[in-house]
Each structure stands twice: as structure tokens, then as C-alpha cells.
Amino acid sequence: MVVVIASENKGKIQEFKRILKPLGFDVISKSDAGMNDDILETGSSFEENARIKAMETYKVVNMPVIADDSGLEVLALNGAPGIYSARYSADNGLNATAESNNKKLLKELDGVMDRRARYVCALCFVNSSGKCFSIVETCEGEIANQPEGNGGFGYDPLFKFKGVSFANMSSEEKDAVSHRGKALLTLAKKIGEWK
């Protein structure tokens, strides 16, 4: 099955391809499918934003679509950065970088002892008939005191699972425990069962 990923985030698309290809899915980006419009994320939750992105992409490409909205929730920050994870450090609506987001997060947690956090991934799948379902998975961990490792993307250098940052894990190790890895495996199984 060819499925369009409603994203242009290269790190995410690489993860989707790596996890879904062995399960029988050919993954293409939304621009490869002919959609170049930006989609406004106006939802109040990861799940709502994933559904918005999936349905808006489906309207243009008229093919099966998977949309992801994911991010980091830090307990001591009342769940921030949450749905604003990608633009956490943005000023005046300008795009933030992973480096600036990570610096802001470390500054916000300066002197904070409770560093519990979780990654959240909401996926929405739309089939060729326009019917959809959603899945939400999480990965519990903690925020490191400084970046660790050179792999991954986003907050991976700061997010530690059982003492190891995602940026220090191999792709296979990360996929086995990450929020997105778990969500994609659950999604692939559900697609196989879903009519």
C-alpha cells in the first residue's frame, strides 16, 4: 500500500519509512504526492492536530494518508511545550530550531529536580475512502541536564529513556521503545484488521 505522510519533517519521514516499509507500506511525503500547502494546526490536542493534517492532506491527494502530531510534555512545566513543541522557542511566529527549543527547555528546567517527561505521538490514518481512525502512544522518560548524543532529532538529545538519551540510541533501539515507533506498529496492525 502506498501511503502519504502528511509532513515534510525529514526526521519523521525517515522514521516512518524505516518502520513501515518492512510491514508492506511504501511511504511518500505530501509534497511527493502533489500537496505543497502548509496546514494550520488549530487543534487543542495532538490527536486533533493529527486529524486536521490527515483530512486536509487527503482532500488534495485522494490517497491513504498518515498524519502525525507529536511532542514533548514535561511534568514540572505543566505539560509544556506540548502541542507547541516544534515552535517552543519561536519569536513573533518565526520558526524555531531544535537547538533553540532544547536551549529554552534547559533554561526553563534550570534548578528543577523533577525532570519527568513523556513523548506523545498521535497518528491519524485516512483510507482511500476518506474514513479515518486515530492512535495515541506515549514514551515515559526524563529530561537530561545537558544534550547527550548526536542521533535522532528534535528533543532527542535531552530525552532519556531508562537512563539513555534517544540521541544515543541506534535507530532500532529507539523504534522499539519510542512513542512514534509504538504508534506506527499499532497503526500498521490496525490497518490490516480495519475494513
Which active-site residues does the annotation give?
A: 69
Separation of alpha carbons 107 and 28, rounded Å: 37
3-state secondary structure the chain: CEEEECCCCHHHHHHHHHHHHHHCCEEEECCCCCCCCCCCCCCCCHHHHHHHHHHHHHHHHCCCEEEEEEEEEEHHHCCCEHHHHHHCCCCCCCCCCHHHHHHHHHHHCCCCCCCEEEEEEEEEEECCCCCEEEEEEEEEEEECCCCCCCCCCCCCCCEEECCEEHHHCCHHHHHHHCHHHHHHHHHHHHHHHCC
